[in-house]
A = this chain, B = another copy of it.
Amino acid sequence: MNNHTESEENYIKALYHLGGDDVVASGALANRVGAKGPSATQAVRRLASKGLVEVIPYKGVKLTLDGLTLAKHILRKHRLWETFLVEKLGFGWEEVHPLAEQLEHIQSHELVEKLAEYLDSPVHDPHGDPIPQADGKIPPAIGKPLQQFSEGSTLKVVRVEDAGTDFFTQLDHLEISLGKEYTLISISSFDSSIQLNTESGESFWLSHSMSSNIYAIAL
């Protein structure tokens, strides 16, 4: 009961990401894992038979406690590997997600814990996202989305949501990275896009979908 396929783990991950331990619609799930509806229905059934999810037909799916534990454990592995790739192997933070997606499926508790130790038991990954700990606890997430700052405030970017590659390409293009400081000039009341000033005085706009994945603290 402790050995899962890669596909199963991907569904579990998706469920966690989409809803934590809340109910998720099978369509949304299928979408997230890049499959079609029926595949998700079927997959979810397999997961249910392993006690990892609860299904309410025509309503949605929900992680059980076991499923939740597994999800957090996979996320722990993912973020530890990302940390390793960036800090030890010198990868850029924008390249590591797809690699970690492979590495997170490696099966060995001992390996995970030795890796954590080797990295000095990190609490945040290279994107600033919290790394679930061995006991299942999740460190507090740092920063607030840019929208929640008032115009004129000075802020420091401390975290970005570990999303797709195109998101990072955009970030790189705008030369946004962790630790950088900006002044928030204005928030469009029309489409919620945000205007930032860099330290060197240049100004640029961020779409809502961009800025809502960028987290900062006030200075």
Contact = CB atoms under 8 A, between A and B. Distances in A.
A123 interface: no
A114 B102 contact: no
B102 A107 contact: yes
Interface string A79-119: 00000010011110001000100110011101100110010
A99 B89 contact: no
Contacts of A115: 89
Copies of this polypeptide in the complex = 2
Interface residues of A, number: 17
Contacts of A103: 103, 106
Contacts of A88: 88, 118
Interface string A29-40: 000000000000
A18 B71 CA distance: 39
A102 B91 contact: no
Interface of A: 85, 88-91, 95, 99, 102-103, 106-108, 110-111, 114-115, 118
A122 to B, nearest CB: 15
Contact of A111 (B89, B106, B107, B111): B89
B114 A106 contact: no
A69 B89 CA distance: 25
A114 B114 CA distance: 20
Contact of A90 (B91, B107, B114): B114
12 contacts: A88-B88, A88-B118, A89-B114, A89-B115, A90-B118, A99-B106, A99-B108, A99-B111, A102-B107, A102-B108, A103-B103, A103-B106
Nearest to A89: B114
A200 B91 CA distance: 48
Contacts of A118: 88-90
Task: Sort A-B residue pairs by CB-CB distance and give the 8 closest, nearest first.
Answer: A89-B114, A102-B106, A89-B118, A99-B108, A99-B111, A88-B118, A103-B106, A90-B114
